[in-house]
Amino acid sequence: MRPFPELEDWQAAPLDEVLLQCRDLVEDPELPSVKRFRDEGGKVLGHFQVYFPEELAHAAGMLPVKLRGAPIDPDHAESRFGSYLCSIIKTSLELALNGSLKLDLFVSHPICDAARNLSAIFSRNFEHPSQILYLPQNANSSHTVTYLRGEYARLCADVEAVAGRAITPGALARSIEVFNESRRLLRRLYDLKRSRPWLLAAEDAYSLVALAGLLPRETHNELLAWVLDRLPERDAKREDRVRVVFEGGFCEQPPLDLVRALGRACYVVDDDWLIGLRYLVEDVPATDDPLLALAEAYIERSSYSPVQHDLRKPKEDMLLQRVRGAEAGAVIIAAAKMCEPGLEEQVAYTRALEEAGVPFLVTEFEENMTSFTGVELQLETFVENLLFA
Amino acid sequence: MSEKNTDASNELVGRANRRGGELVRDWYADLTRAAEEGRGAAYVFVMGSLNEILLGFDLPVVFPEVNSLQTAVRRVAHELLDQAEDYGYSPDICGYVKADVAVQLSKGKHPMGRIPKPSIAVLTNACNTYIKWAEIWERMHHVPVVTIDVPGTREGVTRGRADASFDNDLRYVVAQLHELIATCEQITGRRFDIDRLRETLGYVNRMGRAYRRVLELNRSAPAPFNALTDGTVYLGVANALRGTEAGAVYFEELVEEIEHKVARSIGALGDESYRLAFVGVPCYPIFRRFTEMFSEWGGAYVGSSYLWFASGGLNRDFEYDPQRPIESLAEGVLLGVRDAMDSMFHHDRLLEQMIDHYALDGIVYHPIKSCRTVSTGLADGRRALSERRDVPSLFVESDMMDRRVVSEAQMKNRIDAFFEGLAARRKRRAATPSVLEGGA
């Protein structure tokens, strides 16, 4: 499948044109790449934030699509919810209710109190099956990996029933290899963000990651490899900008215009945007038991987020590691409006950063915000304080 | 003199509420003593307290959810919320958490006494905020935090042991219980006593049997107890005294009282006009007034989802098998916590069964800012249920802790309109002969 149908020979196009196409595709609330996949006879598995073992859907020939909300008004979904909720919950349902996203299977995870209701809500509104994948919330039991392997096996049976195709060990091994390639490419992208952030605008880096949740992964791998090979040739000069880490985008996503505003004010050298697509930090080894390998990778070799509880990974320590690893000079601690886990984590983050002497800015965002004047002013003041203090 | 008004009857009616208050006050007195003596407590949660194991180590058990709701009922919650917000917590997170943070920052000072510091925190994943809450204690007190992760229903309502994942889930819970026991042994320096566990399981079985009988008895008309106000007292005892002889005796005596009331048609309301179910968590900042706004119209709460999900699984028709205590406890925890989650996420299916069983005239949904677990799906569940069944309902939002989002006047307007609708509906129905009666 071509990533951009209207750009037939996209590999002959200039890099800037391809990046523009990437941004357009990410911002398109009609999700055209998913629509095309389904129109061509494919089946779609929609998975809500944060992490999902996409290899299982891929091995059954389904397209795993990350539901990450959208900057749209929840016209139909609003009546399904009360007040005091984050936006992503509403707009993820809206995409399905307004027909932009047609699914064959919906899977959510008990990541937070709001999101754990989504499976029941989808099941009341749609004919297709909807379910919860119970990723473990106790990463520290000796039995966790075994349990998760069993949970993945259960999910496989449900995916097979929807896909109408068995997930064979060979198919799963091949899918793991495709996703290992994806992980390697995404690591390369983040290495570049850290080492030469001037080569790629923040919104372009964001779009390249987000497309992993919208395109068949082989297509995305091809696209990302092509872009990464061309970036070093770019004629871009290093500027005197503050290097920052953005923390708070693990679930609801900031609008691309906000990412752009951040990128204009500073170099975003690391972040947790769409961290679920990058959650496994190493390749998953090829073994006789690929489900066990996937389960082990989730528990033992994964990133962090406010919605995964692991005594070995206090979130504030992990943030400090991220800051040091990226050689960042400051942190933007954000939370989506009404995002309880994100807001709760802010207290621990700010205290740890204060103690470590790392400057930070605390802010809130919403995926469908349209005015950025306030945030830009906050950012400018923050950056000026850092540069000229 | 009517049988309703004999001395014996007067003594019996209301006994459980009086006794419940005493037991909860005694429980807080014990906690205060533990705090003064510097003894550490086990911090636990209502949905999966694991009292069964903790009692065996003689750890005082603290329910921070109960502590927090007490601050709202006693009208000091707003001071605590301010204190936690000054510390850095957002106005948009759970009020229970913030009130507890303030209690912790004030070295356990609480309107009911003093809360001891934790030696251990035990949580389930029934509510995600439990996890974030325990992480706060971990940072504040540097104590072991033990998670009992209980996988919930994957699709629809659980089929219990028939669920495809049941065996895998059960093995996971069993393993975690063994790990909890090992941690308790480590922090207390005491050996685990399996016979004590058997005894505790027996008390929980007695409590559960009686609790279910009490819920069932409220099918009577008039309903002998108010599921909201009386029910909250029962829940306090069900949690604080879970697995104790005093708890078992309390509920057995409660059955006696409720049966007495049913036999004599003594209702919780003098004049029961409408039978209602309550969905959500009560409005504690104006608890009495909130209830009055319904009772003034003759609205009797005959049931509530709160009496399901906050009962620690006592509402489920399940009994422990003391002959295989750990596995049976794991099964009870798995099914009980899962049932609590189902009653929050799939409330429409459970309410549908309740409509006829309890002869409901209406359903009151009370989503609250503080609790997304309970509240997120209420509007959609209400929509779905109204498509299947013709039962009037009211959707009124406020909070269980934060009086800043409780608008009493607005609430009263909505409630009055709801009852006017119920009255009009009743009049309409009375005026329209049924098809079965041969009407046109």
Tell me the pLDDT tens digit for each residue of B214-236.
999 999 999 999 999 999 999 99
- With CB atoms and an 8 Å threshold, state whether A79 touches B379: yes
Mean pLDDT of B328-335: 97
Q: Is the pLDDT of residue B432 over 90?
A: no
Kindly state whether B125 is in contact with chain A, defined as any CB-CB distance less than 8 angstroms. yes
Kindly state whether A81 is in contact with chain B, defined as any CB-CB distance less than 8 angstroms. yes
Q: Which of B130, B131, B80 is nearest to B108 (CA)?
A: B80
Q: Which residues pair with B299 in a beta bridge?
A: B274
Instruction: Produce one character per residue of B388-399: b if its CB has 16 or more CB atoms within 10 Å, e if not.
Output: eeebbbbbbbbb
**What share of chain B has pLDDT > 70, as a percent?**
97
Per-residue model confidence (pLDDT) at position B9: 79
Q: Between B2 and A98, whose confidence is greater?
A: A98
Phi first, then psi: what are they for A259, rounded to 5°? -60, -40
Residues of chain A found within 8 Å of residue B93, distances taken between Cβ atoms: 340, 343-344
Please give the Cα distance from B16 to B253 (Å, whole number). 7
Per-residue model confidence (pLDDT) at position B162: 82
Structure tokens that stand for A77 in this block: 């979904």
- With CB atoms and an 8 Å threshold, state whether A129 touches B165: no
Please give the Cα distance from B202 to B172 (Å, whole number). 24
- With CB atoms and an 8 Å threshold, state whether A124 touches B175: no
- With CB atoms and an 8 Å threshold, state whether A146 touches B381: no
Residues of chain B found within 8 Å of residue A311, distances taken between Cβ atoms: 138, 145
Listed by number, the residues of chain B in 340-369 with a beta carbon closer than 8 Å to a beta carbon of chain A are 341, 344-346, 348, 367, 369
Burial class of residue A244 in the structure, from the number of CB atoms within 10 Å of its CB (0-12 exposed, 13-18 middle, 19+ buried): buried
Structure tokens that stand for B41 in this block: 């407590």
- With CB atoms and an 8 Å threshold, state whether A113 touches B87: no
Give per-residue pLDDT as tens, B171-221.
Answer: 999 999 999 999 999 999 999 999 999 999 999 999 999 999 999 999 999
CA distances from A137 to A145, A283, A304, A348, B127 (A): 12, 23, 12, 20, 11
Per-residue model confidence (pLDDT) at position B1: 44
Sign of CA dihedral A252, A255, A259, A262: negative
Listed by number, the residues of chain B in 82-101 with a beta carbon closer than 8 Å to a beta carbon of chain A are 87-90, 92-94, 97
Per-residue model confidence (pLDDT) at position B277: 98
SS3 B398: strand
Which residue bears the tokens 């940072």? B139
Residues of chain B found within 8 Å of residue A140, distances taken between Cβ atoms: 147
Which residue bears the tokens 């807080």? B28
Per-residue model confidence (pLDDT) at position B323: 96
Sign of CA dihedral A98, A101, A103, A107: negative
The verdict on pTM exceeding 0.80 is yes
Chain A nearest CA to B366, separation (Å): 10
Chain B nearest CA to A325, separation (Å): 24
Contact B174, B151 (CB under 8 A): no
Which residue bears the tokens 């509104």? A125
Please give the Cα distance from B320 to B194 (Å, whole number). 14
Per-residue model confidence (pLDDT) at position B437: 52
CA distances from A59 to A34, A53, B115 (A): 17, 11, 53
Contact A239, A264 (CB under 8 A): no
Task: Select the residue from A92, A147, A298 to test the B interface by mutation, using most B Cβ atoms within 10 A.
Answer: A147
Contact B207, B251 (CB under 8 A): yes
Angle, helix B15-36 to helix B229-240, in steps of 10 degrees: 40
Give per-residue pLDDT as tens, B140-183.
Answer: 999 999 999 999 999 876 677 888 899 999 999 999 999 999 99
What is A11-79 written as a DSSP string? GGS-HHHHHHHHHHHHH-TT-HHHHHHHHTT--EEEEESS---HHHHHHTT-EEEEE---SS--TTTGG
Per-residue DSSP letter, B336: H
How many CB atoms lie under 10 A from the CB of residue A264?
14
Contact A108, A119 (CB under 8 A): yes
Contact A338, A113 (CB under 8 A): no
Q: Which of A102, A106, A104, A109 is nearest to A122 (CA)?
A: A106
Q: Is the pLDDT of residue B5 over 80?
A: no
Which residue bears the tokens 């523009």? A20
Listed by number, the residues of chain A in 19-58 with a beta carbon closer than 8 Å to a beta carbon of chain B are none
Per-residue model confidence (pLDDT) at position B434: 62
Structure tokens that stand for A130 in this block: 């909807």
Phi first, then psi: what are they for B270, rounded to 5°? -65, -35
Kindly state whether A355 is in contact with chain B, defined as any CB-CB distance less than 8 angstroms. no
**Mean per-residue pLDDT of chain B:** 95
Please give the Cα distance from A51 to A137 (Å, whole number). 13
Q: Which residue of A has its CA nearest to B146?
A: A138
Burial class of residue B142 in the structure, from the number of CB atoms within 10 Å of its CB (0-12 exposed, 13-18 middle, 19+ buried): exposed
Which residue bears the tokens 């919605």? A307
Please give the Cα distance from B35 to B47 (Å, whole number). 24
The region, left, alpha or beta by phi > 0 then psi within -120 to 50, assigned to residue B65 is: alpha
Per-residue model confidence (pLDDT) at position A354: 98
Per-residue DSSP letter, B405: G
Q: Is the pLDDT of residue B337 over 60?
A: yes
Q: Which of A372, A377, A375, A321 is nearest to A349 (CA)?
A: A321
SS3 B277: strand
- With CB atoms and an 8 Å threshold, state whether A344 touches B125: no
Among A351-360, B225-234, B345-354, B431-440, where is mean pLDDT lowest?
A: B431-440
Label residue B61 by pLDDT band (50, 70, 90).
very high
Residue B345: partners with Cβ closer than 8 Å, 6 or more residues away: A116, A117, A119, A120, B152, B153, B377
Per-residue model confidence (pLDDT) at position B4: 57
- With CB atoms and an 8 Å threshold, state whether B147 touches A157: no
Which residue bears the tokens 């269980």? B400
Per-residue DSSP letter, A113: T
CA B111 from chain centre, in angstroms, equals: 21
Q: Which residues pair with B113 in a beta bridge?
A: B110
Please give the Cα distance from B83 to B105 (Å, whole number). 9
CA distances from A389 to A332, A359, A383 (A): 18, 12, 10
Q: Is the pLDDT of residue B237 over 50?
A: yes
Q: Which residues of chain A have pLDDT under 50?
A: none
Q: Which of A80, A146, A335 comes nearest B379 by C-beta?
A: A80
Q: Is the pLDDT of residue B6 over 90?
A: no
Q: How many residues does chain A have?
A: 389
- With CB atoms and an 8 Å threshold, state whether A151 touches B346: no
Structure tokens that stand for A271 in this block: 């972040």
Which residue bears the tokens 């952030």? A197
For chain B, domain boundaries: 7-436
Task: Select the residue from A131, A162, A340, A353 to test the B interface by mutation, using most B Cβ atoms within 10 A.
Answer: A340
Label residue B439 by pLDDT band (50, 70, 90).
very low
Structure tokens that stand for B380 in this block: 């959609």
Contact A333, A248 (CB under 8 A): yes
> How do strand A267-271 and strand A243-247 relate by DSSP bridges?
parallel
